[in-house]
Amino acid sequence: MIIVGQIKKGAYFDSVTLMRVGKELAGLPGVADAAIVMGTKSNKAILHSSGLLISKFDEAGDTDLLLAVKARTQPAADTALASVDGLFTKATRKAGTDGETRPSSLAAALQVMPEANLAIVSVAGRYAGDVAWSALESGLHVMLFSDNVPLETEIALKKFARKRGLLVMGPDCGTAIINGVPLAFANVVNRGCIGIVAAAGTGLQEVSCLISNAGAGISQAIGTGGRDVKQEVGGIMFIEALKALAGDKQTRVILLVSKPPHPEVLRRIERVIKGIRKPIVTLFLGAETRKGGPSTLEEAALQAVALTRAQNPAEAASQLAVRNQYLNKLAKRAAAGRKPGQKYLRGLFSGGTFCAEAQVLFRAVLKNLFSNAPIRGVKPLHNSLVSQKNTVIDLGEDEFTVGRPHPMIDYSLRNRRILQEAEDPETAVILLDVVLGYGANPDPAAELSSVLRQAAAKVSVICSITGTDQDPQNRGRVAAALRKTGAAVMPSNAAACGLAGWIIQLLCPP
Amino acid sequence: MPSLNQLFGSELKVINLGLSGFKQALDDAHVPAVQVDWKPPIEVDGRLLAKVKALQPAIDAANATVTKVILSGMPYLVGLERAVEVVPGMKENMLLHAGPPITWQRMCGPMRGAVIGALLYEGKAQTPEEAQQLAASEAIEFSPCHEHAAVGPMAGVISASMPVFVLQNEGYGNYAYSTMNEGLGKVLRYGAYGEAVIQRLKWMENALYPVLKKAVAKLGKIDLKNLIAQALHMGDEVHNRNRAATSLFYRTIAPAVVRTCDASATVAEVLEFINQNDHFFLNLSMAASKATLDAARGVKRSSIVVVMARNGTDFGVQLSGTGDAWFTGPSDVPDALFFPGYSRADANPDIGDSAITETNGLGGFAIAAAPAIVQFVGGSSEDALRYTRQMYEITAAENNIYQIPGLNFRGTPTGIDVRKVIEKNILPFIDTGVAHKEPGVGQIGAGVLNAPVEPFKRAFEGFAKGLYKK
């Protein structure tokens, strides 16, 4: 193998463009691997670990672009390097449509659009704070998609925003729906009267889709970023957003979704809730369920829907009980089809909230449950790449995503893992989530079909779909295509987990 | 004060900084959105950034003074003289050159060739070998044109007896100087020093110079600012395209030449020489820019660039607020279209004082005015518009006289602010000729480049460090 590299001084492309071009580069004839990254220390470490670091990269700095190609022959390597410029031109031409003004700064953008009211910030984390700061100073609400923003920065931004009456969603906020407009990774849902505040990104997507699929709709869906409800940030934006929904005429029912907040923060939230007269459904996933409160994202969504129809929220539970009887039957059929020795569950999640919800549901009913992102009561996985007994994996964790696109966009890593788990004679069930909407993979059915077909020939494959028929991928079409592979397609993560849990319990009675 | 509920009640209008896919989704939903071509800032010491930010009002005020001086500059051609008689500090044994200071040892091929040619021209050496020995000795003093109120294209070599244009910036009174343009092919500014080159220089000294001197004297003065403004409306940006400006200059000077010169053969030679050289005006547009910018030097706390110049080895920058200090870094090879038979491998790194035009809001900054040469910038006039638009992001003012028809007669971006260069990571855009790296081969292409980052980084650091000095 030959490794060649090139430094482009001062060249800058956004990370998605880099990944897209990197992927095309790696796909060229004779090329075994390729990477295009900015020359930061952490990126050099990634190149090192993938054997693509060459000595001449030492001199490159943070603002230099590094190109590395591993190829079978020198000519293949040279050809690949030579084609990079063309690939970049192709990739960026598409983004900049003809004749459109592309300002290079926030100030210049504000000249083009002086009445702008929201900034979406997805630049690299170490710059994101400064960019968000200038947006707030210019009076813009901010959706901060970037991660790796320091905690102190988040606190300072949110305190400043609160004083100015501005919203800071994030950092690490992947999704929101404001005034009916899906932002970043969000789904196309009905407008309606349920307002959502969520400190859990895929959780927000799941409840908003389930509400929409149940015929109700969303007024506003505000993400806060997962750290907002921790002690240090103190729930600043969670509370501000909650208050705003309380005062919003379009919102009749409020739904709160989060992993358990810090006890102090929880007390603060509860104080605010007491002063609000609108019905509020609260799901703190993993915390003890209150009497009458929902225990899953699905139940929370259905309770909110029931409240908009002036029904008793307990209706949701009875609705789900009926559905679960049917799932039980399905489970029996599936268990009967398994070979002796097949007894474990392997959950492969692209959504962090789904992995957490799965653990909440499984820890009560399954023994020997492991995860790379364990919640209380679940054992830490020794090695994220090797499953142990019943295992649920969050593929959105850093160990999988550094230097590559999120698993909701790039299915290749999970597809490999699906096939690998299907080969394990102890695997009985493979469980996965498929997330649709803007930002997510544009054609999941095409990416998954062949892999699921191969897996379903050996094990039970169960997948949930988070999305709507109005999403660009079209939920109904994706579901039909996935069913054809032999997989069981479920309307929610809770349903998928329920089915999977019952199968394992039948195969391996406690 | 804005509030969250106010946001809920209004139409969403979004500025997207980062992943352009998010903008796509907003377009699909028919939500008004602007995509920002965001780049990380150029990395400089955070303490220096803080220093500069703390003094922002004072710097802004200083820059307002500087831009006022630049915009109100009135460069006139007022005469022609021998360099040694008018250029400040010029000496018999001195050679002026383009760009920041450089020794013979570090000079690139074309610059060395031009030095050899100038020594042959001055009769200080009889052979190229002798000239080289002389240049390497201590006997010849090298000095940047810019330190003598002068500018020269490419190698930019000016020797004592060479005739120069004399320009005056009316209102400020300062002068600027440049040689007359020799035309294309084998010429001194590209490092050629053969017999034909020296002969042409002698003809320029003995025929062209006295004729033009008399003609200019007859006219009194020629308003170059007005002429450049007209040329911008006629498709020039007066760096890489000077066809319109040369034609306008020709119309101005020709009657005076005919009236002041009795020898009709010489009149014909002189007018043909100007007529055949589309770049004859380049040296005047450069000197006009120099005269304009020199008046803006030395304003304390101003972060405006007053010189960008290259010697073929280094790229140098001077700021109004940092006195005579040069901030330099390696010069890059331009991204060029090459004449048949040549390639990037033959190209010399960027060279010449001609980037003074960009410093003055012309050249690459006004490329949108010159659709005829957009082949150099990607092929479409849209590309040219984009380059000019981008330069507004790093400049302090829009020109009051130089305008771009294709941008609804918007003034050209003028007065580069080094703070904006650093913050936005946008480097000045220069369109330029490309020299062969071997002396004497001449021009092998034309193209564009962004100025290298190093000199601007150093200029910012030098500026920030100097802010608190008395």
For residue range B113-148, what is the model confidence (pLDDT) as tens digits? 999 999 999 999 999 999 999 999 999 999 999 999
Give Cβ neighbours of residue A450 (< 8 Å, ≥ 6 apart): none
- Answer whether B19's CB lies under 8 Å from A122's CB: yes
Q: For chain B, which domains are there?
A: 4-36 (no CATH), 46-70+296-466 (3.90.1700.10), 77-287 (3.90.1710.10)
Measured between beta carbons, the chain B residues lying within 8 angstroms of A12 are 39-40, 425
Contact A179 B8 (CB under 8 A): yes
Quick one: A252 and A326 in the same domain? Answer: no
User: Of the candidates A312, A334, A364, which is a domain's last residue?
Assistant: A312
Decide if A104 and B26 are in contact by the 8 Å CB cutoff: no
> Are A389 and A441 within one domain?
yes
Alpha helices in A261-313 (DSSP H): 263-274, 297-308
Any chain A CB within 8 A of the CB of B26? yes
Helix axes of A352-362 and A493-507: crossing angle, nearest 10 degrees: 40
Closest Cα of chain A to B386: distance in Å? 8
Q: Do A166 and B2 touch (CB under 8 A)?
A: yes
Test the B interface: residue of A18, A101, A104 with most B CBs within 10 Å? A104
A150 to chain B, any CB pair closer than 8 A? The answer is no
CATH number at residue A113: 3.40.50.720
Q: Which residues, including other chains, have CB under 8 Å from residue A452's CB and lie 6 or more apart?
A: A418, A461, A463, A482, A485, A486, A487
pLDDT-derived band at B378, boundaries 50, 70, 90: low
- As given in the structure block, the two tokens for residue B106 are 């570090």
Share of chain B above pLDDT 70, in %: 99
**CB contact, 8 Å: A124 with chain B?**
yes
DSSP readout, B202-258? Answer: HHIIIIIHHHHHHHHHHH--EEHHHHHHHHHHTT--SSS--HHHHHHHHHHHHHHHH
pLDDT digits (tens, 9 = 90+) for B340-359: 888 889 999 999 999 999 99
Q: Which residues contact B187 (CB under 8 A, 6 or more apart)?
A: B197, B200, B442
Contact criterion met (CB below 8 Å) for A133 and A144: no
| Residues B222/B252, Cβ–Cβ less than 8 Å | yes
pLDDT of res. A60? 85
Q: How far is A116 from chain B (nearest CA, A)?
A: 5
| Cross-chain residue pair A108–B36, CB shorter than 8 Å | yes
Arithmetic mean of pLDDT, B58-72: 97
Both A124 and A197 in a single domain? no
Q: CB of B361 within 8 A of CB of B413?
A: yes
Count how many Cα atoms sit within 13 Å of the Cα of residue A387 in the half-sphere of its side chain: 27
How many helices, marked H, and strands, marked E, lie in chain A? 18, 19
- A357 and A479 together in one domain: yes
- A252 and A333 in one domain? no
Find which of B1, B6, B7, B26 to mutate to test the A interface (most A CBs within 10 Å of its CB). Answer: B7
Q: Among the three residues A128, A149, A172, which one is the final residue of a domain in this structure?
A: A172
User: How many domains is chain A partitioned into structurally?
Assistant: 4
Residue A89, chain B, CB below 8 Å: the answer is no
pLDDT 10s digits, B69-122: 999 999 999 999 999 999 999 999 999 999 999 999 999 999 999 999 999 999
Does residue A478 share a domain with residue A433? yes
Q: Within this chain, do residues A352 and A301 fall inside the same structural domain, yes or no?
A: no
Task: Read off the CATH number of the domain in which A437 is found.
Answer: 3.40.50.261
**A333 and A468 belong to one structural domain:** yes
Tell whether A267 is within 8 A of chain B (Cβ). no
- pLDDT for B377: 66
In A, minimum Cα distance to B384 occurs at A99
Of A95, A120, A150, at which residue does a domain stop? Answer: A95
Q: Which of A108, A164, A182 sits opposite B29 (nearest CB)?
A: A182
- The C-alpha angle with vertex A179 and arms to A173 and A184, in degrees rounded to 5, equals 30
Output the 3-class SS for A454-502: HHHCCCEEEEEEECCCCCCCCHHHHHHHHHCCCCEEECCHHHHHHHHHH
pLDDT score, position A254: 98
Determine, for residues B4 and A184 on separate chains, whether the beta-carbon distance falls below 8 Å: no
**Cβ–Cβ gap B34/A103 under 8 Å:** yes
Q: How far apart (Å, rounded) are the C-alpha atoms in residues B247 and B270? A: 14
- Residue of chain A with shortest Cα separation from B392: A108
- The mean of the pLDDT values for chain A is 91
Q: What is the pLDDT of residue A95?
A: 43
Taking CB atoms and an 8 Å cutoff, what residues of chain A touch B13?
A: 113, 115-118
Torsion angle of the four alpha carbons B380, B386, B388, B392, in this order, in degrees rounded to the nearest 10: 170
Is A45 in contact with A34 (CB distance < 8 Å)? Answer: no
Low-confidence stretches of chain A (pLDDT < 50) are 94-99
**Min CA distance, A249 vs chain B (Å)?**
9
Tens of pLDDT, residue by residue over B232-286, are 999 999 999 999 999 999 999 999 999 999 999 999 999 999 999 999 999 999 9
Same domain, A392 and A283: no
Complex confidence, ipTM: 0.82
The answer to whether residue B50 neighbours chain A at the CB level (below 8 Å) is: no
Find residues 59-78 of chain A whose CB sits inside 8 Å of chain B.
61-63
Residue span of the structural domain in which A187 resides: 183-312
Same domain flag for A32 and A130 = no
More confident residue, A84 or B159: B159
Question: CA angle at residue B32 from B28 to B38, to 5 degrees?
Answer: 95
- Please report, rounded to a whole number, the percentage of residues in chain B having pLDDT higher than 90: 81
DSSP A116-166: --EEEE-S-HHHHHHHHHHHHHTT-EEEE------HHHHHHHHHHHHHHT-
Quote the pTM value.
0.75
Whether residue B10 lies within 8 A of chain A, CB to CB, comes out as: yes
- The answer as to whether A317 is a domain residue is no
> How far is Cα B187 from Cα A159, in angstroms, rounded to an integer?
66
Average pLDDT over residues B11-40: 91
Could you say which DSSP state residue A313 is in? T
* Cβ contact B15–A108 (<8 Å): no
Considering the domain boundaries, does residue A16 fall inside one? yes
What is the CATH classification number for the domain harbouring A39?
3.30.70
Are B18 and A121 within 8 A, CB to CB? yes
Examine the domain organization and report whether A346 and A493 are in the same domain.
Answer: yes
Chain A residues within an 8 Å CB radius of B21: 16, 438-439
Both A13 and A107 in one domain: the answer is: no
Question: Would you say B312 and B106 are in contact if contact means Cβ atoms under 8 Å apart?
Answer: no
Q: Which residues of B touch A129 (CB under 8 A)?
A: none
* pLDDT score of A97: 41
The answer to whether position A178 is within a domain reads: no
